Amino acid sequence: MSPTQLEVMKHAFTAIPELMGAALQRSAYSPNIKERKDESCAIFTADQKMIAQAEHIPVHLGAMPSALESVTSSFEMEERSQLILNDPYSGGTHLPDVTIIKPVFREDDLLGYVVNRAHHSDIGGKTPGSMPGNSERLEEEGIVISPRYLIKNNEYVEEVMDILKKARSPEERIGDVKAQVGANERGAKEFKNTVEKFGYQEFLTFKEEILKYSETRTRKMIENMPSDVLSYEDHMEWKDPIKLKVHIDVKEEEIDFDFSDTASQVDGNINAPKPVTYSAVYYVIRCLLPRDVPVNDGCYRPLNIRIPEGSLLNPKPPAAVSAGNVETSQRVVELLLRALYHVFPKKIPAESQGTMNNLTIGNDRFTYYETIGGGAGASFEGKGESGVHVHMTNTKNTPIEALENDYPLRVTSYKLREGSGGEGEHRGGEGIVREIKLLEDAEASIQSERRKKGPKGANGGADGKPGVNMMFKDKVPKELKSKITLRMKKQEIIRIETPGGGGWGVRKI
């Protein structure tokens, strides 16, 4: 295939998941999907190789191949069907992330699959939002949906719809699921039309060529890296610090990532499912590749990843995992970037906020969920961005107008956290202050990191400030732990101050 044809087809197929995402956002019920865009879409070949993804959420996308493998190994693919799962031990990430998969056929030939994953504001469990600060077992975090048919012969499976009705705000849950189904239908139609446009044989050639091209470019990048064994160690915030450690062995055209020295799984929710850890590794490699390299399964073929079973990054069921998906994934990214920093000192920035600052507020009537941005690390190129989502999350904020319209909440402060970015030749980005007053009684849960130590600076730059979680009762402040669930009364205020990014370089006087 000529380079021109390969490029034309690459853009044509990449447009499919982008169109899926737009359809899902427009038709979703919950602000978390339609406003924050907490969803991701991708397309796969018949042999489960990802060939195109939208620029959505890294922690969703990197784990999708595991979900597809789980489904295809257990079910016969049928044209008029869609399948659903959220089980983190069957290719999911955490329970609020619901994955829906549709096989796409051309006559009797299986072309591939369209897949989307969306974060539902609630999926049951012991607290509104399904992300308790103190969960220890998976069932505490919500309804577990093992892989199964959601649609069979173009009809919804009533058993699954009944399961979804057990979540809080069932109309919203079912509305969001139907939006996901519609997005897959749109994707399947575009997939078939695009194949017909170029021709079936041309498509078969393209899918092999595009995977081979990305693999070759990835191997070329690795070949240019110095052969070395790199390592780095850091710690998660828990009752006692929990060790994260990686050894990276750079070979001629391959890289080995070994997490054997990371701590064992804990009785808590910071355990990260294996697909989430894979997502973090994939994301870091994508960041280091040139921008013009298409992101697909070929990028990951030169990677060998070892994660012992029963560890923090590959737990055994029924361990809780809700914070592992959102918080541990962020810390693993920074762990890998620190290990690789001396190989790419002009490309890798100082540490960014290292957390998603997850906040849920709700009761039996409503559930609000949001991840809150913070400071990005400064780099050789310049200062860090302020008030942005970083690394494994790629969502937007919930606009104040939408938040106050949909929930009994009032935003009393929303601003940059001045002075939170680390000093340096290039200053780290500033964190955010998000302060919300409750207009009716509710439960609030926080899952966050970087509350004890701030993000580290690089090349002599200063660290960013750690985050702070607070609540106000009768205007009296009380500092909260990094992971907590608490009951709150009407008129009480919860305040999240997110970390600033690390500075880069010694400040010149």
For residue range 264-298, what is the model confidence (pLDDT) as tens digits?
999 999 999 999 999 999 999 999 999 999 999 99
Q: Could you tell me the pLDDT band of residue 446, with boundaries at 50, 70 and 90?
A: very high
The DSSP result for 8-47, as a single string, is: HHHHHHHHHHHHHHHHHHHH-SSHHHHTT--EEEEEEETT
Three-state secondary structure readout of 49-84: CEEEECCCCHHHHCCHHHHHHHHHCCCCCCCCCEEE
pLDDT at res. 334: 98
Model pLDDT for residues 465-482, shown as the tens digit of each residue: 999 999 999 989 999 999
Write out pLDDT tens, residues 48-82.
999 999 989 999 999 999 999 999 999 999 999 99
Better-predicted residue by pLDDT, 227 or 441: 441
Residue of 25, 10, 90, 11 lying closest to 57 (CA atoms): 25
The predicted-structure confidence for 105-132, as pLDDT tens digits, reads as follows 998 899 999 999 999 999 999 999 999 9
Q: Are 27 and 7 in contact (CB under 8 A)?
A: no
Specify the pLDDT at position 211: 98
For residue range 384-411, list pLDDT tens digits in order: 999 999 999 989 999 999 999 999 999 9
Share of the chain above pLDDT 90, in %: 97
For residue 129, the one-letter residue type is: G
507 confidence band (pLDDT: 50, 70, 90): confident
Domain boundaries, the chain: 3-212, 349-509
